Structure 1
Amino acid sequence: MPQVTDPSTRDLAPADSTRSIFPRLRRSPQPASTTSTPTLNPNATGTIQPIRPTANPTAISVGEPGAQAQNISSVDVAQVVARNEWSNVSFPLEQFQAYTSPFGYRRSIEGYNYNEFHYGLDMAAPQGSYIRTWTTGVVVEVTDDSNCGTSVVVEAGRWLSIYCHMEGRVDRTGGRRSMLDRAGGLQIYEGQTVYAGQRVGRVGMTGRTTGPHLHWGLKYDNNWVDPALVLRAMYSGQQTAQGLPQMPMQIARMEEAEE
């Protein structure tokens, strides 16, 4: 059973916690050195080893704010999350350090005196850490803009996942768009199938960011969903898979803190 931690430190991943929660899983591979240029092989997936949540985030809110809310309620989203088994998914980040900014309203990151809505969950990791696809799907867009930076968007049925602030750039050689990260040995094409746990990028500082992190956004039926809800369900599911109580002490303490 995972070591019980104080809720004030719940966002910090304990050392080698992936192995302690899922002993049968191998340690996630460490990022390759950025001092050399690996050979690109965009079609190779290698041995894909999904990784599991190492810390359990607090779910803040669900859905778009105010007048932008669409036709799915928070209850509906919670039911969608609850009825999934989450057995073929992966935690989206290697070398995870902390959840740094939740889904929902927050103060302007530029320090202005207003709130803004944050459509995702931010996860800190050392620059160059590998980003993995949360679930199997098709890359529907690669882009580089002033907000999300270099990013990859993956569609999986009714789910859409967005991975922002990556290293690399968008390449348009030969009329086909791809996310090209030569230092990381990655080239991800639009239209390419990617698999749960596959590396699709590295943590960078492209776009609107104050430090290296992954911004992970999720949509279900074109409605924004709090990724923390999904991670909590994944975390609970892995406890069940190991025959452990569905609400370990650290989760119970989190629930008390939210009341």
Structure 2
Amino acid sequence: MALNVEAGSWTGASFPVENFQAYTSPFGFRTSPTGGRGYEFHSGLDIAAPEGSYIRSWWGGSVVEVINDQGCGVGLVIESGDWEHIYCHLSGQVQTIQGRPTLIDRQGGLQVSEGQTIPSAARIGRVGMSGRTTGPHLHWGLRYGDRWVDPALVLRAMHRDR
């Protein structure tokens, strides 16, 4: 069964980056931007913005994971019903506070913990260069159920609904 992003109502959704500059890498297979051989699957849309620009939650939901790894760097996964939205390469650091992994960005005035409920359009992070990146940007991934979805298709549908 194909996912029809046109069928949804996108009136509560928010564009995820303040100070947008450009889309720098689309969803799908690409050559490695860091010099690897062959093609790799890029599971999101890279959105360039000046370092420190705020990132907003695309949709309201619950933080199900605070990430700190070599690929994504510092990041968040928010679950909104059947949707998961993934935000990578954020500024700040991950600490455990009261037993919960928490993104801490003191300079940006942000603290986001696993289990926290986030409204649509809330500031949840800032553009950084953590993880595997060649410049400041947000890697924004979307999953519906167990399937990756091209965020550009969702952005086009959101634009048409306005």
Q: Note the alpha carbon deviations across 1:56-105, whole angstroms, 9 max, x for none.
A: xxxxxxxxxxxxxxxx5xxx21x2x1111100010000000000000001
Q: How does 1:1-259 map to 2 (within 5 A)?
A: 72=1, 76-77=2-3, 79=4, 81-238=5-162
Distance in 1, Cα, partners of 2:97 & 2:116: 16
Once the two structures are TM-superposed, the CA of residue 174 in structure 1 deviates from its matched residue by 2.8
In 1: Cα distance, 2:16 partner to 2:28 partner: 20
Provide the C-alpha distance between the structure 1 equivalents of 2:96 and 2:112, rounded to a whole number of angstroms: 12
- Cα distance in 2 between the residues matched to 1:196 and 1:173: 24
Structure 2 gap segments, 5+ residues each: none
Identity of aligned residues (%): 57
Letter in 2 for 1:119: S
Structure label with greater radius of gyration: 1
How many angstroms does 1:230 deviate by?
Answer: 0.2
Displacement of 1:111 in angstroms is 2.2
TM-fit CA distance, 1:112: 3.2
Q: Give 1:246's aligned residue.
A: none
Q: Deviations over 1:184-234 (max 9, x none)?
A: 000001111101100000000000000000000000012100000000001
Q: What TM-score, normalized by structure 2, do the two folds share? A: 0.97
Instruction: Output the CA distance in 2 between the equivalents of 1:174 and 1:181.
Output: 17
Bigger strand share = 2
Amino acid across the alignment from 2:15: F
Matched position secondary structure for 1:177:
strand
**RMSD between aligned alpha carbons?**
0.9
Greater helix content? 1
Distance 2:36 2:129 in 1: 21
Which protein, 1 or 2, shows the higher relative CO under an 8 Å CA cutoff with sep ≥ 6? 2
Measured against aligned partners, the alpha-carbon deviations of 1:114-143 in whole angstroms (never above 9, x if no partner) come to 111100000000000000000010000101
In 2, Cα distance between equivalents of 1:236 and 1:190: 33
SS of the residue corresponding to residue 166 of structure 1 reads coil
Query: Structure 2: how far apart are the matches of 1:87 and 1:212?
Result: 29
Where 2:98 maps in the other structure, the secondary structure is: helix
Q: TM-score, normalised by structure 1?
A: 0.61
Q: Structure 1 runs of 4+ off > 4 angstroms?
A: none
